[in-house]
Amino acid sequence: KAGVTQTPRYLIKTRGQQVTLSCSPISGHRSVSWYQQTPGQGLQFLFEYFSETQRNKGNFPGRFSGRQFSNSRSEMNVSTLELGDSALYLCASSLRGAAEAFFGQGTRLTVV
Amino acid sequence: AQSVTQLDSQVPVFEEAPVELRCNYSSSVSVYLFWYVQYPNQGLQLLLKYLSGSTLVKGINGFEAEFNKSQTSFHLRKPSVHISDTAEYFCAVSANLIQGAQKLVFGQGTRLTINP
């Protein structure tokens, strides 16, 4: 059974640009969550999608957005990139009603 | 709202020695508790979880944790560590919500270093 797949693994962008990260959940998982990991702030929840609907949102500015497609794949978008957006972005998927989340390997975004 | 405090940012231990990584949480609702491990340049791997039932939870790689509701703690233990256990360990909590909504709140992490 394939795990959670995040693409790309590494990304370098310039300040002011926008970026889209992709997450393919484990087959059958319909819940997808996104987290940002930085040395200073640690792991912080961005948002969670279930059946194409955002169910939970963390405390991030509106430049951070996401969506989920009918096949449960999810994308997150960051517009007008800032240096502080440099981080490891992790995606996690889970079954409906399950407490356990499975994480992908992450996308490391560097903003220069 | 939930919060998690990992009491040690770094823990150095000699190989084959026992280790305990401490985690305290706060929440006004019942919660699920987790320990994850992260190796360099990797995502998070679930070590163990407490959902309900027995307060002593056994996980992968010989780790176990004990849920203590009165002390709001969920400490992680291993009786004998190996060099390969060198990694960062995260304690996390999620509210026991309907529909299993996923919103994990993580501690700041404990870097476990095993010395030969």
pLDDT digits (tens, 9 = 90+) for A56-96: 889 999 999 999 999 999 999 999 999 999 999 999 998 87
Choose among B97, B40, B33, B41: nearest CA to B64: B33
Burial class from Cβ neighbours inside 10 Å (0-12, 13-18, 19+) for residue A41 reads: exposed
Q: Is the dihedral of CA B48, B50, B52, B53 positive or negative?
A: positive
Q: Could you say which of B32, B90, B102 has the minimum Cβ distance to residue A92?
A: B102
* Pairing of β A64-68 and β A74-78: antiparallel
Q: Could you say which of B104, B108, B109 has the minimum Cβ distance to residue A101?
A: B104
pLDDT tier for residue A44 given thresholds of 50, 70 and 90: very high
Q: B34-56 pLDDT, tens per residue?
A: 999 999 888 999 999 998 888 99
pLDDT tier for residue B97 given thresholds of 50, 70 and 90: low
Percent of chain A whose predicted confidence (pLDDT) is above 70: 97
Taking residues A102-106, report their average pLDDT: 95
CA distance B96 to B88: 25
Mutate to test the interface with A, among B74, B103, B111 (most CBs of A within 10 A): B103
What is the predicted pLDDT for the residue at B100? 55
Find chain B residues with C-beta within 8 A of A90's C-beta. Answer: 43-44
Retrieve residue B18's tokens: 């026992």
| Virtual torsion, Cα B55, B58, B62, B63, nearest 10 deg | -50
Is B86 in contact with B62 (CB distance < 8 Å)? Answer: no
What is the predicted pLDDT for the residue at A17? 98
Distance between A16 CA and the closest CA of chain B, angstroms: 26
What is the predicted pLDDT for the residue at A2? 79
Retrieve residue A85's tokens: 């957006």
Choose among B94, B110, B116: nearest CA to B38: B110
Residue B96 has pLDDT above 70, yes or no: no
Distance between B92 CA and the closest CA of chain A, angstroms: 10
Residue B95 has pLDDT above 90, yes or no: no
Residue A25 has pLDDT above 70, yes or no: yes
Residue B33 has pLDDT above 70, yes or no: yes
Residue A1 has pLDDT above 80, yes or no: no
Choose among B102, B100, B90: nearest CA to B22: B90
Find chain B residues with C-beta within 8 A of A38's C-beta. Answer: none
